[in-house]
A and B are shown apart, each in its own frame.
Chain A
Amino acid sequence: MNPDTFELFRYFIIFIILLFISGVYCVLVSFNLVRALIGVEILIKAVTLLIILAGYICDRVALAQAIVLTLIVIEIVIMVVAGGVVLWAFKYNKTIDPRRLSNLRG
């Protein structure tokens, strides 16, 4: 690997870690289920970039793209089902604040 590519790789890794920190912070601190989902989305974006970067560095771009396509499909399913869960939580509790979801079983 030439030094320029290596330096670029290092900067990408730093930005991916910072993006990951932002997503984790959003999930941990927010008291709104929709915003927590947005935090999960940011985490998935960081992972997507990491996979594409790994494929680019190792010269396996086709494999990385195939994995990212799978990731995007799974991401959509997660978001649709989680959106449904949030709507049901709102329907029965009139809130999407997880601190007030007090009638859950278990």
Chain B
Amino acid sequence: MAIDLILLSALLLSAIWTVMTIRLVHSVVGLALTSAILAAIIYRLDSPLAAVFELSVCSGLISVIFITTVSFTQRISKERFIVRRKERLLRFLYLPFIVIIAGLLLVRYLRIPQFSLPLSAQVTDVRLVLWNMRHLDLLGQAIIIIAGVFGVVVFFKEPNK
């Protein structure tokens, strides 16, 4: 339980740092760190396949997408950066206080009623669930991937002159 709490605290701190840090590249690195910590938590919750996906896809691929997006957008001058830093600091200063206050209130007042779990034989192999129990949503997933591919093609296509 202590390890879980340490990992959860690290996850939250990393997410807050991701939101509050000034440079976008630092923010992307923070997001990758958040994903890596989340993968460790998911692994501890007996879900190794989801943990591997989270680590490889969310921590790796999404960081690459974000860094590509950031690198294609314009750099700002140093003077403008200083002005923006002050403006940003004022806007994001409240987040740690909001999180601390919300955390204290939740620890004090959040009460979850005890519930009993259904006693039924469950499928424990994720492959069986993925390929045998789900049909229509797999089709939907394939359509979403194709829509994503078309989206990328349309967005990165150079207009005809």
Chain A residues within CB distance 8 Å of chain B: 1, 4, 6-15, 17-19, 21-23, 25-26, 29-30, 32, 34-35, 37-39, 41-42, 45, 48-49, 52-53, 55-66, 68-70, 72-77, 79-81, 83-88, 90, 94-96
List, in ascending order, chain A residues with CB within 8 A of B41's CB: 49
Q: How far is the CB of A104 from chain B (nearest CB, A)?
A: 16
- Do B129 and A25 touch (CB < 8 A)? no
* B 60-117 contacts with A by CB, 8 A: 61-62, 65-66, 68-70, 72-74, 91-92, 94-95, 98-99, 102-103, 106-107, 110, 112, 114-117
Q: How far is the CB of A6 from chain B (nearest CB, A)?
A: 7
- Do B19 and A25 touch (CB < 8 A)? yes
- Do A9 and B112 touch (CB < 8 A)? yes
Interface of A, helix, strand, loop or mixed by DSSP: helix
Q: How far is the CB of A60 from chain B (nearest CB, A)?
A: 6
How many pairs of residues, A versus B, come closer than 8 Å at their CB atoms? 207
What 20 additional pairs, Cβ within 8 angstroms, besides A11-B8, A12-B4, A45-B58?
Answer: A18-B106, A22-B16, A26-B18, A35-B19, A38-B27, A52-B45, A52-B47, A60-B122, A64-B50, A66-B134, A69-B130, A73-B141, A75-B62, A76-B57, A76-B61, A81-B148, A83-B66, A84-B155, A87-B69, A95-B74
**Cα distance A14–B9 when bound, in Å?**
11
- Do A45 and B38 touch (CB < 8 A)? yes
List, in ascending order, chain B residues with CB within 8 A of A34's CB: 24, 66, 69-70, 73
State the interface size on chain B (CB cutoff 8 A): 77
Chain B residues within CB distance 8 Å of chain A: 1, 4-5, 8-9, 11-12, 15-16, 18-19, 24, 27-28, 31, 34-35, 38, 41-42, 45-47, 49-50, 53-54, 57-58, 61-62, 65-66, 68-70, 72-74, 91-92, 94-95, 98-99, 102-103, 106-107, 110, 112, 114-118, 122-126, 128-130, 133-134, 137, 141, 144-145, 147-148, 151-152, 154-156
List, in ascending order, chain B residues with CB within 8 A of A21's CB: 98-99, 102
